[in-house]
């Protein structure tokens, strides 16, 4: 159905919006999140996921920071608490030394300074677990703590100065008693101040932990709310998307069918009502094969069987499905094996109705065929006339002119026959008995205008099944024609053969300029997958399509390869099923089209052998070279390539 330009603009805009996730800014990132898969949130919902991500990052970051801080805080509290014990030890050490006992007040002095210095200025201290490791402590930031610690440090300095005086003066010093009292008072003050600082730090740590817990609870609640909101929004978005998908499926002109592993229909899109006049519900549970045309069932079964064995593989096939009114609809199906996907668990078929295209293709094929048949009849009559003239002509120059006319007419006939091949119509007449392979090859060579440049050698004494003889001769003629056309007139084209494990290979080698890799690949693709006649328009490789179609009829494989010294080698693999030994079959007596050949010899090249073969000069060899079945003048299968296939 055609759409108006404005509708197309709107649709294009919608497509762009859909591709961008339907939102702008940060929301555009949302559809790219792998967690969402193909799910796309609407414009108003897109902010939820970025907010959730920011929230999660904030919670994790805050937790990490808080944990690090609390770990440090615990050490700080421990450090502050140690201060009092260190002061008392220092005081005791000083008094012991003054009283003549052994002690080390200098080391104690260093120890007593360390905690307060670290707490105030930051630094590392020995870990409390006593394993020798050191722990980094950040400088105190709270002003209350700092003031108390600074007072602590002042008192420590004074304590140590007093201790130094006592150590220097001893008991004999006049100020001994006052210094001892001062030392004890300072020690007591330090204990008080240290306790105060430790309490302050402890309170702050408790407050910090309490704050942390409150924030964690708030963040957790917020996170839960955000997750709930996200869940609801995702569910809503999923529902919208599912509705959109259902709408697409329901309104699609194609069928979407899911086949269970047992071949029964597990799901059928409602569009089947339009295509086959059947309700989706009535098809679910039935076998797909019941709808397929009996002639197509084997192919469909074969394709599906192969597909079932290859998970995730895709295949295409065409067949006919029966409409409820009894008519047959031509369809093309793309089938994907999703049996390993638990959401599908089967083969998904996307089926398109191509009945109109099939009818059009058949119409074109019929048209081509009719035109070709008419032309073929005219060309055959023309060849008869030329042949008649050749027989009665004794002037060598005029005979030569007649031979040239004969060639041109033969090439026209090959062109016409190419059209018949491309139209898809099978040859109606075939040989009933086998034909010597060498005769077939030489007949094909005889159809080529530059047959004198072709050297046939080493073809074994085999026979070719009669039903394939005409097509093989046509096929080889096309390839030889191609080889002579695209090589220098001074070079030879060699045709040889040899057995292989599963048949017989004919090799046609030229010494021309060769083909580019891309052209060679394209040619081989055409040989393997020839297009239908209605798709071939504009193709510059029409000859390869013809060869491909002829080969496909008989299971013959044709492949082009680069030759190691330049040029191209065409390999024609004849399957063993088409071959037989020469002794099994009588000499070929092909039916000769009436009026085409007056000579009693059934095959013009039948008497030639191998490399010393030379065309017989007195007859126009090309058009009668192929063993032709008795099919009448207008159905002569010998064709002529009107243009090079490369």
By CB under 8 A, name the binding residues for other proteins.
Answer: 144, 147-148, 150-151, 181, 184-193, 196-197, 199-200
- Alpha carbons 639 and 624: distance in angstroms, whole number: 10
Minimum Å distance from CB 143 to other proteins?
A: 9
Minimum Å distance from CB 85 to other proteins?
A: 14
Minimum Å distance from CB 152 to other proteins?
A: 8
CB closer to other proteins, 158 vs 522: 158
- Alpha carbons 191 and 193: distance in angstroms, whole number: 6
Question: In this structure, what token pair is assigned to residue 428?
Answer: 């109606």
Minimum Å distance from CB 193 to other proteins?
A: 5
Question: In this structure, what token pair is assigned to residue 602?
Answer: 């059934």
Minimum Å distance from CB 156 to other proteins?
A: 13
Spatial contact of 454 and 492, defined as CB atoms under 8 Å apart: yes
Question: In this structure, what token pair is assigned to residue 585?
Answer: 């079959």
CB closer to other proteins, 91 vs 269: 91
Minimum Å distance from CB 211 to other proteins?
A: 19
Minimum Å distance from CB 88 to other proteins?
A: 11
* Secondary structure letter of residue 487 according to DSSP: S
- Alpha carbons 162 and 178: distance in angstroms, whole number: 10
Question: In this structure, what token pair is assigned to residue 133?
Answer: 């490791």
CB closer to other proteins, 45 vs 473: 45
- Alpha carbons 242 and 233: distance in angstroms, whole number: 14
CB closer to other proteins, 94 vs 339: 94
CB closer to other proteins, 71 vs 161: 161
CB closer to other proteins, 200 vs 494: 200
* Secondary structure letter of residue 287 according to DSSP: B
Q: Which residues contact 542 (CB under 8 A, 6 or more apart)?
A: 418, 422, 536, 643, 645
For the beta sheet containing 435-436, the strands, ordered from the edge strand earlier in sequence to the opposite edge, are 435-436, 462-464, 579-581
Minimum Å distance from CB 151 to other proteins?
A: 4
CB closer to other proteins, 193 vs 437: 193
In Å, how far are 106, 485, 492, 560 from 514, measured between CA atoms? 99, 12, 14, 10
- Alpha carbons 305 and 45: distance in angstroms, whole number: 45
Question: In this structure, what token pair is assigned to residue 434?
Answer: 């086998």
CB closer to other proteins, 181 vs 535: 181
CB closer to other proteins, 143 vs 565: 143
Minimum Å distance from CB 254 to other proteins?
A: 43
Question: Which H or E run contains 97?
Answer: helix 48-98
> CB 35: neighbour CB atoms within 10 A?
7
Minimum Å distance from CB 147 to other proteins?
A: 4
Minimum Å distance from CB 196 to other proteins?
A: 4
Residue with tokens 């009849």: 377
Minimum Å distance from CB 142 to other proteins?
A: 11
Question: In this structure, what token pair is assigned to residue 450?
Answer: 């530059």
Minimum Å distance from CB 112 to other proteins?
A: 16
CB closer to other proteins, 141 vs 343: 141
Spatial contact of 561 and 492, defined as CB atoms under 8 Å apart: no
CB closer to other proteins, 187 vs 485: 187
CB closer to other proteins, 192 vs 363: 192
> CB 575: neighbour CB atoms within 10 A?
16
In SS3 terms, 569-635 reads as: EEEEEEEHHHEEEHHHCCCCCCCCCCCCCCCCCCCCCCCCCHHHCCCCCCCCHHHHCCCCCCCCHHH
CB closer to other proteins, 63 vs 202: 202
Minimum Å distance from CB 10 to other proteins?
A: 26
DSSP assignment of 451-475 equals: GGGEEE----SEEE-HHHHHHHHHH
State the Cα angle at 552 between 550 and 557, rounded to 5°: 100
- Alpha carbons 629 and 430: distance in angstroms, whole number: 6
Question: Which H or E run contains 169?
Answer: helix 143-169
The count of C-alpha atoms lying within 13 angstroms of the C-alpha of 5, restricted to the half-sphere facing its C-beta, is: 0
CB closer to other proteins, 89 vs 373: 89
The three-state secondary structure class of 105 is helix
Strands 493-500 and 435-436: unpaired
- Alpha carbons 63 and 223: distance in angstroms, whole number: 14
């Amino acid at each position: 159905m055609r759409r108006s330009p404005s509708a197309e603009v709107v649709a294009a805009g919608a497509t762009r919006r859909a591709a961008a996730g339907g939102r702008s800014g940060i929301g555009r990132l949302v559809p790219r999140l792998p967690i969402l898969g193909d799910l796309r949130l609407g414009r108003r919902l897109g902010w939820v996921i970025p907010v959730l991500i920011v929230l999660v990052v904030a919670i994790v970051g805050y937790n990490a920071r808080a944990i690090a801080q609390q770990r440090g805080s615990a050490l700080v509290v421990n450090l502050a608490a140690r201060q009092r014990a260190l002061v008392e030890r220092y005081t005791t050490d000083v008094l012991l030394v003054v009283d003549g006992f052994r002690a080390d007040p200098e080391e104690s002095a260093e120890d007593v300074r360390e905690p307060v210095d670290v707490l105030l200025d930051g630094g590392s201290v020995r870990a409390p677990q006593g394993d020798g490791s050191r722990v980094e402590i950040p400088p105190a930031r709270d002003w209350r703590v700092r003031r108390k610690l600074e007072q602590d440090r002042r008192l420590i300095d004074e304590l140590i100065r007093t201790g130094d005086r006592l150590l220097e003066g001893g008991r004999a010093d006049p100020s001994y008693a006052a210094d001892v009292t001062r030392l004890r008072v300072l020690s007591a003050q330090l204990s008080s101040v240290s306790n105060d600082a430790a309490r302050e730090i402890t309170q702050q740590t408790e407050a910090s932990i309490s704050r942390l817990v409150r924030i964690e609870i708030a963040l957790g609640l917020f996170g839960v709310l955000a997750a709930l909101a996200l869940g609801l929004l995702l569910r809503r978005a999923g529902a919208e998307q599912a509705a959109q998908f259902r709408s697409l499926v329901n309104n699609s002109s194609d069928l979407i069918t899911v086949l269970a592993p047992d071949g029964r229909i597990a799901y059928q899109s409602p569009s089947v009502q339009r295509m086959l006049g059947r309700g989706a519900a009535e098809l679910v549970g039935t076998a797909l094969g019941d709808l397929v045309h009996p002639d197509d069932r084997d192919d469909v079964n074969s394709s599906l069987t192969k597909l079932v064995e290859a998970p995730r593989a895709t295949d295409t096939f065409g067949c006919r499905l029966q409409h409820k009114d009894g008519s047959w609809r031509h369809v093309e199906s793309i089938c994907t094996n999703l049996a390993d996907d638990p959401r599908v668990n089967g083969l998904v078929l996307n089926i398109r109705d191509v009945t109109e295209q099939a009818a059009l293709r058949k119409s074109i094929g019929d048209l081509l065929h009719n035109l070709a048949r008419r032309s073929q009849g005219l060309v055959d009559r023309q060849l008869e006339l030329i042949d008649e003239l050749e027989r009665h002509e004794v002037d060598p120059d005029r005979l030569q002119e007649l031979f040239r006319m004969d060639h041109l007419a033969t090439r026209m006939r090959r062109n016409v026959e190419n059209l018949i091949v491309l139209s898809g119509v099978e040859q109606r007449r075939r040989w009933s008995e086998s034909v010597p392979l060498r005769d077939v090859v030489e007949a094909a060579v005889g159809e080529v205008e530059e047959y004198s440049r072709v050297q046939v050698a080493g073809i074994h004494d085999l026979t070719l099944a009669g039903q394939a003889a005409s097509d093989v001769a046509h096929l080889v003629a096309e390839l030889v024609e191609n080889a002579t056309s695209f090589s220098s007139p001074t070079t030879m084209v060699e045709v040889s053969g040899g057995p292989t494990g599963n048949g017989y290979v004919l090799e046609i080698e030229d010494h021309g300029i060769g083909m580019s890799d891309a052209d060679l690949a394209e040619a081989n693709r055409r040989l393997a997958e020839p297009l239908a006649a209605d798709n071939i328009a504009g193709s510059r490789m029409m000859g390869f399509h013809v060869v491909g179609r002829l080969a496909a009829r008989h299971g013959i494989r044709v492949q082009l390869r680069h030759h190691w010294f330049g040029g191209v080698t065409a390999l024609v693999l004849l399957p063993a099923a088409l071959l037989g030994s020469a002794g099994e079959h009588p000499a070929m007596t092909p039916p000769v089209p009436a009026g085409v050949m007056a000579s009693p010899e059934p095959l013009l090249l039948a008497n030639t052998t191998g490399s010393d073969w030379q065309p017989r000069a007195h007859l126009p060899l090309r058009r009668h070279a192929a063993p032709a079945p008795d099919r009448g003048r207008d159905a002569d299968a010998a064709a002529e390539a009107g243009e090079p296939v490369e």
